[in-house]
């Protein structure tokens, strides 16, 4: 039985990496999915094609979540395309690593704009359409407690996101909208390749600290998100689930 049949989901940053796996995972459970991207149109279209080929429903929608008008446009596009909204997955995120002496205002603003403001803007736009049983799932990071060196700003954004998630869980609970957070450990993605983590000493160290003894894969996260989006998680709100192979 498909757990998300009849549901409509928006997954931000779904053109690649963890977001692409989440979009496919939600579609596999029966949801119609809006595959958001910022710049990777071809990547988003490939995700839509994979979902459609498997018999699902999906559409690619461009939008920078850190821009209020574009975040709103993304949510409006979902409602226009599929008639309603049930699930928002705030997955879009940017990371780059900088030691304390290398931190710049631009680095700080870029990461906080996408990772924190982007979540607030997309959630604000979505909350106008989410009804009873609606849900928001935020993708944070285990880095908030693993405390990897050279990640002060990135970890700061995700710590802020955890606090935002907790507040929104309480704020939206009277409307029976659930808000939960998934905190992945290290996951092999396009982003972690580009950031130079894959194949680096940082990866070796993170895998060595991971009790289950391997790097995470995007599908390891997608299943947790599909569970949180489903009625099986109807009594969960304000939770932070660390999906990390045990590193904490």
Query: By the criterion CB under 6 A, which residues form the site for ligand NAP?
Result: 12-19, 36-40, 43, 64-66, 91-95, 114, 118, 139, 141, 184, 186-187, 189-192
Nearest approach in angstroms of CB 137 to ligand NAP is 12
User: Positive or negative, the Cα torsion across 51, 75, 63, 155?
Assistant: negative
Q: Could you tell me which of 230, 91, 235 has the C-alpha nearest to residue 169?
A: 235
Catalytic residue among 37, 95, 108, 154: 154
Nearest approach in angstroms of CB 70 to ligand NAP is 8
What is the C-alpha to C-alpha distance for residues 160 and 165, in angstroms, rounded to an integer? 9
Question: What tokens does 39 get?
Answer: 């710049």
Beta-bridged to residue 36, according to DSSP, are 61
User: Positive or negative, the Cα torsion across 239, 130, 117, 40?
Assistant: positive
Q: Which is nearer to ligand NAP, 176 or 207 (CB)?
A: 207
Q: Which is nearer to ligand NAP, 32 or 155 (CB)?
A: 155
Known catalytic membership, residue 95: no
Nearest approach in angstroms of CB 30 to ligand NAP is 23
What lies within 8 Å, CB to CB, of 155 at 6+ separation is 141, 143, 144, 147, 148
Nearest approach in angstroms of CB 71 to ligand NAP is 8
Q: Which is nearer to ligand NAP, 135 or 183 (CB)?
A: 183
Question: What tokens does 192 get?
Answer: 């972690």
What is the C-alpha to C-alpha distance for residues 68 and 131, in angstroms, rounded to an integer? 21
Using the structure block, give the residue that is written with the tokens 């993605």. Answer: 189
Q: Which is nearer to ligand NAP, 137 or 139 (CB)?
A: 139
Cite the active site residues: 154
């Amino acid at each position: 039985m498909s757990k998300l049949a009849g549901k409509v989901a928006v997954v931000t940053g779904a053109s690649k990496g963890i977001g692409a796996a989440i979009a496919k995972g939600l579609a596999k459970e029966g949801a119609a999915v809006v595959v958001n991207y910022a710049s990777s149109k071809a990547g988003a279209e490939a995700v839509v094609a994979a979902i459609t080929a498997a018999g699902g429903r999906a559409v690619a929608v461009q939008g920078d979540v850190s821009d209020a008008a574009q975040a709103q446009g993304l949510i409006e596009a979902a409602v226009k395309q599929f008639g309603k909204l049930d699930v928002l997955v705030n997955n879009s995120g940017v990371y780059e690593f900088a030691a304390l002496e290398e931190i710049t205002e631009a680095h700080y603003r870029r990461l906080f704009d996408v990772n924190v403001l982007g979540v607030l803007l997309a959630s604000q736009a979505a909350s106008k359409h989410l009804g009873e049983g609606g849900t928001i799932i935020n993708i944070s990071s285990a880095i908030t407690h693993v405390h990897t060196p050279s990640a002060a700003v990135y970890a700061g954004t995700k710590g802020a996101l955890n606090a935002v998630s907790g507040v929104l869980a309480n704020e939206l609970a009277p409307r029976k909208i659930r808000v939960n957070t998934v905190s992945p450990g290290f996951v092999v993605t396009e982003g972690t390749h580009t950031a130079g983590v894959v194949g680096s000493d940082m990866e070796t160290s993170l895998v060595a600290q991971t009790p289950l003894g391997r790097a995470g894969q995007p599908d390891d996260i997608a299943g947790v998100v599909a569970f949180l989006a489903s009625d099986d998680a109807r009594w969960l709100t304000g939770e932070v689930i660390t999906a990390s192979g045990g590193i904490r």
